[in-house]
Structure 1
Amino acid sequence: MKWNIDPTHSQAEFSVRHMFTKVRGHIVVASGVVDVDESDPTKAVIVARLDPSTVNTGVPVRDDHLRSLDFFDIQRYPEIVFHSTAVSQTAADHYAVVGVLSMHGIDRPVTLQARAGGDGIDPFGNRRAGVSARTTVNRKDFGLNWNRVLESGGLLVGDEIDINLEIEAVLDQVARDTAA
C-alpha cells in the first residue's frame, strides 16, 4: 500500500548542543512516500524529503546562518533526503529503519528507531497513519563543520544532532483504487 507523507501534519525536529545548553528547531518534511505491505511491514520502502530552507529555531539571525554556506548551503543543496534500505521489527509496533540520509551532498547510513502510532479514518474519509522516529547523527559526517572555539577551550556547537520525526501519511486513493 502506498502512503503519501502529509507535510502539514509531519515535522522533523532537531536539537544540538550550543555551549552549555541545547538549541532546538524544526525543518519541514516537504514530501515523501511510504510503500508498505500490511502483512509484512519489514518490506516497507520509505522516502522522505525535507526542505532545509524552512529551518526554524525561533531566532531569525541563527536560522539565516543555518541556511548559509557555513551549514546547509541551501542554494547548492536544496533538500535533505532519507531513503530506507531495510526495516526490522524490534518489538510490537517498534521498528529499526535502516537507510541512507543524503544531506549537504553527502550520503551516510543511519538507523531510525521508529514506533507505529496507529491508523484510522479522518473526518474526510481518508485513511491516515502515524509514526514517530528518532536518530542521532554527527553533523561533521555531512560536511557541516563550522564551529568556534570558546575561551574555555570548548566548542560553540556540538557535533551530535538528535533528530525526532513525527510523520503522518495518507493512503494514496489512486493506488488503492487501482489495486482493488
Structure 2
Amino acid sequence: MAKTKWVSDPAHSEVQFKVKHLMITTVTGYFGSFEVEAETDEDNFEKASHIVFTADVNSISTNNDQRDTHLKSADFFDAENHDQIKFEGKRYEKAGEDQAKLHGDLTIRGNTKPVTVQVEYAGIVVDPYGQTKAGFTISGKISRKEFGLTWDAVTEAGSVVVSDEIRLLCEIQLVKQA
C-alpha cells in the first residue's frame, strides 16, 4: 500500500485554547505558528502511521501583550527553555461515521503525558487549484498543572485566578503531498 504524506495548510488552520479567568469568564489564546504532519496508507487516516503536531510557544497570542509575555515566562511555558509544544499521535480510533479519538503523547515544558482528543473528520476534497485537502476539527481538555504550568494566584476573596483545565480547539486542514 502506498504511503501518503500530508502537511498542514496554515492559511486554513488554527490552534486555539481556552482557560477560565477568575472562574467567571473565558480567555481565548492562539498559537500563530504550528505544523501538522501525517502519513497515511493511501488516503485512510484510520491507518495513519505518523501524526505529529508542533507549536512554537513564542507564537502564543491572547490579544494582550502583558499576558502573552507572562505565558512565555518560567511561570507558565518557559519558552526560553521549552520553545515547542509537541503532540505525537499513537492511535486513531474510529468512534462513529465522522468521529474518532486520537490517542497520543503531549509534551509541554519537557513533561510528556498521554492525551486523547476528539476528532471530527470533515472529509477530503480537491480545491480549485487541484490540491487534495482533508479537514478536521479537534477538541479536548488537559490539566495545565500536569505539564508543569503550576503558577497560581488566589484573589482576596479566595477565587482561583486561572483554572487548571485548558480546553483545546483546533481546525486543521491538511494538504496531500505529491
- Which TM-score band applies after superposition, normalised by the shorter structure? over 0.9
**Counterpart among 28, 31, 37 of residue 41 in structure 2:** 37
CA distance in 2, matches of 1:166, 1:108: 22
Q: Give the deviation of 1:74 after TM superposition.
A: 0.9
CA distance in 2, matches of 1:161, 1:172: 33
Which deviates the most, 78-87 or 28-37?
Answer: 28-37
CA shift digits 1:78-134 (9 cap, x unpaired):
110110111110000111000000111100110010011122112221111110110
**TM-score in terms of structure 1 length:** 0.91
Root mean square deviation of aligned Cα: 1.3
**Counterpart among 4, 22, 26 of residue 22 in structure 1:** 26
Q: Would the aligned equivalents of 1:2 and 1:33 in 2 still touch at CA under 8 Å? A: yes
Partner amino acid for 2:28? R
Q: Give the deviation of 1:151 after TM superposition.
A: 1.1
How many pairs align? Answer: 173
Partner amino acid for 1:12? V
Q: Show structure 1 runs of 5+ residues with no match.
A: 174-180
**TM-score in terms of structure 2 length:** 0.92
Q: Would the aligned equivalents of 1:10 and 1:29 in 2 still touch at CA under 8 Å? A: no
Partner amino acid for 2:111? I
Match of 2:145 in 1: 140
Match of 1:178 in 2: none
Match of 1:51 in 2: 56
Partner amino acid for 1:35? E
Q: Show structure 2 runs of 5+ residues with no match.
A: none
CA distance in 2, matches of 1:58, 1:111: 28
| Percentage of matched positions with identical amino acids | 35
